[in-house]
Chain A
Amino acid sequence: MADLVLQTVVKLLIPFIQMYGIFIIINGHLSPGGGFAGGTILGSSIILYALAFHVEDALAHYSRSRAKMMESAGVVAFALIGLFGIIRGGHFLANNIWGLGETGTLLSGGIILPITLAIGIKVASTMITLFFHLLEEKKL
């Protein structure tokens, strides 16, 4: 199924969807949204690509093993950021690694920004992995 109109529109849309996803993620500490919402939007862009083009094309862009790797990396990053809080002398997930910055600016909120980033990566990869898993029907 190669529909020129659909494929062209999807090609045009995907950069905006991804930009919006990233915007939602990195503004997680300032506005509604955050890692979960942004990650879902980010993941849906690849799903859209897979639906409009072939799944093989989507896999060529974002392979299964890479999706699984990013999934693990997201959680590992989250846990490591949390553990840094202990190393710096506070409790787990203590917001003491660097300064909090000026309230309302993008680079503020201390560890919240990297944590939402990690969650965003994890959620986006999970969305894609789930989609690929639903596609492959395994015979028992």
Chain B
Amino acid sequence: MTHLPILIITTSLLVAFVLPLLGRHFPRAVEPLIIGIISANIVQVSGLLLYVNANGTFRYALGGWSPPWGIALSIDALGLFMILIIQSVSLGILIFARDDLIHEIENSLKPWYYTLFLLLLTAMTGLSVANDFFNVFVFMEISTITACAIIAIKPHPDCIEASLKYLILSTLGSGLVLFGLALVYMVTGYLSFDFIAESLPNAMNLYPLNIIVSLALLVVGMGIKAALFPLHVWLPDAHSSAVSPSSAILSGVVVKIYAVILIRLLYTVYGLDILAHIPISQILLTMATLAIFMGSLFAMGQTDIKRMLAYSSVAQIGYIFLGIALLSPSGITGGILHIANHAIMKSLLFLAAGAIIYQTGIRKIKDLVGIGYQMPLTMGIFGVGALAMVGIPGFNGFVSKFHLAVGALEAQQPVFVIVILISSLMNAVYYFPILIRAFFGPVNHQMKFDQLPLGMVISLIGFAVATIYLGLLPGGLINLAEAISQFLLSRS
């Protein structure tokens, strides 16, 4: 049982590099293999979650060398929760991608696309459990480069431009993180989070400036990578021009992994005492509020459906940071819940948009008139995603927004309840016109059923079922998120 965390990472890495070899001789075996390995990962991480629930968190030392000399992975509820989201969402996306990729990228590149995809998953899995700065940095670089590559793999000038922009800004973010961790290393002499957390309170008395500057650099660096509002400029291009499965994984999961690392750093490494020295909570809250409003405002102005979804992601990242920065138990629970819920609903929306583009080639929102008669299933599922985004009770978006609102009240900052309410209405302003156009526009088509390959239909229905299930019966997820928030607050 104790070897499972490293097995998840290394078997994915192994399979990622076996895929191109396999693709040359047995191209038919590629897709079953990658879906098989991700399913296996889901089973393993579920087992680990049960184990951690029963026995508590533990550290896995690579090569048997214990920190601070060796590398140790932290196997706790936060990391496992994130791995579970990463792997399950990508399983759905890959089932969709099987049929969608055929007309987006060259056939010979398909095994390489899966290699990059699996490497991205491996890097994110590593980031979820990494417990030292060195591994965080290395896995961050892997995930940045593979994320750029799965945008640039589509042979279109827009994609190259977008991925170059992403690469440059991400590298800037990595550079800031590197500076930040160098400053921490300078005053503590450790890279392992556990040891840094132990020696920081003492170092804070001696070198307060180093630690505060490092905190600022880490927050801005992670903020660029997580596309927090004024630092979001790369996101709309990157997420809208990529192939739909890439958009779904990038918007659904990749930007959130940096929020998770920031949560881990703020709560378990720095701790609330050090955070109290500078108004980091207020700064993050302001940025999050701006993100929520400006993301929605920009989304209203978009004419391209995937671009609109990308700007909507900017707004939703704001909710997650709002939850992190409220520093109250329910706020953290809400932020964690929103990571999961937004991953599911945004992947659903991007894949539904991808299905519309697959069947009709329409990308402009104004051309979507009457599309509900051509693709009732896809638009129905898009409707589920849109309602969840707005936060209608019964869909999963409501659950996390409710917890965020409770968290704002707990933190005695009721103004953020109003922010959440107004922004929900703003979400409705740009999601509902699409549904109204699709279903209530002038009918000039015969009613017919979607002509989509089976894999796409299964994947879309799977995401829709998850959205509704987690909206109606969110108990298990809430318990998990509450356990994580307790774990984080107990550490700091």
- Interface positions, chain A 69-86, Cβ under 8 Å from B, are 69, 71-73, 75-76, 79-80, 82-83, 85-86
Please determine whether A65 and B24 come into contact, CB atoms closer than 8 angstroms: yes
Whether A107 is near chain B, meaning CB under 8 Å from some CB there, is: no
Please determine whether A86 and B64 come into contact, CB atoms closer than 8 angstroms: no
Whether A131 is near chain B, meaning CB under 8 Å from some CB there, is: no
Which residues of the partner chain A approach B18 to less than 8 Å between Cβ atoms?
Answer: 72, 76
Which residues of the partner chain A approach B14 to less than 8 Å between Cβ atoms?
Answer: 75-76, 79-80, 83
Please determine whether A83 and B10 come into contact, CB atoms closer than 8 angstroms: yes
| 15 more CB-based (< 8 A) A-B contacts, given A71-B17, A94-B63 | A69-B21, A72-B17, A72-B21, A75-B17, A76-B18, A79-B17, A80-B14, A85-B63, A91-B6, A91-B60, A91-B61, A91-B64, A92-B10, A92-B60, A138-B155
Which residues of the partner chain B approach A10 to less than 8 Å between Cβ atoms?
Answer: none
- Interface positions, chain B 31-89, Cβ under 8 Å from A, are 60-64
**Closest chain A residue to B16 by CB distance?**
A75
Q: Of A65, A83, A92, which one neighbours B63 at CB under 8 angstroms?
A: A92
Whether B156 is near chain A, meaning CB under 8 Å from some CB there, is: yes
Which residues of the partner chain A approach B404 to less than 8 Å between Cβ atoms?
Answer: none
**Closest chain B residue to A140 by CB distance?**
B157
Assuming the contacts A69-B21, A140-B155, A140-B157, asked whether A94 and B64 have C-beta atoms less than 8 A apart, the reply is yes
Whether B231 is near chain A, meaning CB under 8 Å from some CB there, is: no
Which residues of the partner chain B approach A68 to less than 8 Å between Cβ atoms?
Answer: 20
Complex: A90 Cα to B2 Cα, angstroms: 11
B172 to chain A, nearest CB (A): 23
Complex: A92 Cα to B60 Cα, angstroms: 9
Which residues of the partner chain A approach B155 to less than 8 Å between Cβ atoms?
Answer: 138, 140
Please determine whether A90 and B64 come into contact, CB atoms closer than 8 angstroms: yes
- Interface positions, chain B 8-32, Cβ under 8 Å from A, are 10, 13-14, 16-18, 20-21, 24
Q: Total A-B pairs in contact (CB under 8 Å)?
A: 54
Which residues of the partner chain B approach A80 to less than 8 Å between Cβ atoms?
Answer: 14
- Interface positions, chain A 86-137, Cβ under 8 Å from B, are 86, 90-95
Which residues of the partner chain B approach A79 to less than 8 Å between Cβ atoms?
Answer: 10, 13-14, 17
Interface size range on B against A? 20 to 34
Which residues of the partner chain A approach B177 to less than 8 Å between Cβ atoms?
Answer: none
Whether B3 is near chain A, meaning CB under 8 Å from some CB there, is: yes
Complex: A82 Cα to B11 Cα, angstroms: 11
Q: Which 9 A-B pairs have the closest CB atoms?
A: A72-B17, A93-B63, A92-B6, A75-B17, A79-B14, A91-B64, A94-B64, A79-B10, A140-B157
* Chain B residues engaging chain A, CB cutoff 8 angstroms: 3, 6-7, 10, 13-14, 16-18, 20-21, 24, 60-64, 155-157, 160
Complex: A85 Cα to B6 Cα, angstroms: 12
Complex: A93 Cα to B156 Cα, angstroms: 41
A73 to chain B, nearest CB (A): 8
Which residues of the partner chain B approach A94 to less than 8 Å between Cβ atoms?
Answer: 63-64
B183 to chain A, nearest CB (A): 26
B185 to chain A, nearest CB (A): 22
Which residues of the partner chain A approach B24 to less than 8 Å between Cβ atoms?
Answer: 65
Complex: A85 Cα to B24 Cα, angstroms: 30
Which residues of the partner chain B approach A73 to less than 8 Å between Cβ atoms?
Answer: 21
Please determine whether A91 and B157 come into contact, CB atoms closer than 8 angstroms: no
Please determine whether A140 and B21 come into contact, CB atoms closer than 8 angstroms: no
Please determine whether A82 and B17 come into contact, CB atoms closer than 8 angstroms: no
Which residues of the partner chain A approach B63 to less than 8 Å between Cβ atoms?
Answer: 85, 90-95
Complex: A97 Cα to B32 Cα, angstroms: 32
A34 to chain B, nearest CB (A): 16
Which residues of the partner chain A approach B6 to less than 8 Å between Cβ atoms?
Answer: 86, 91-92
Please determine whether B17 and A92 come into contact, CB atoms closer than 8 angstroms: no
What per-residue 1/0 map shows which CB atoms of A51-62 lie under 8 Å from chain B? 000000000000
Which residues of the partner chain B approach A93 to less than 8 Å between Cβ atoms?
Answer: 62-63
Which residues of the partner chain B approach A75 to less than 8 Å between Cβ atoms?
Answer: 13-14, 16-17
A-B contact pairs, 20 of them (CB 8 A): A72-B17, A72-B18, A72-B20, A72-B21, A76-B14, A76-B17, A76-B18, A79-B10, A82-B10, A86-B3, A86-B6, A90-B63, A91-B60, A91-B61, A91-B62, A92-B10, A92-B62, A93-B62, A95-B63, A140-B155
Complex: A75 Cα to B115 Cα, angstroms: 12
Which residues of the partner chain B approach A85 to less than 8 Å between Cβ atoms?
Answer: 63
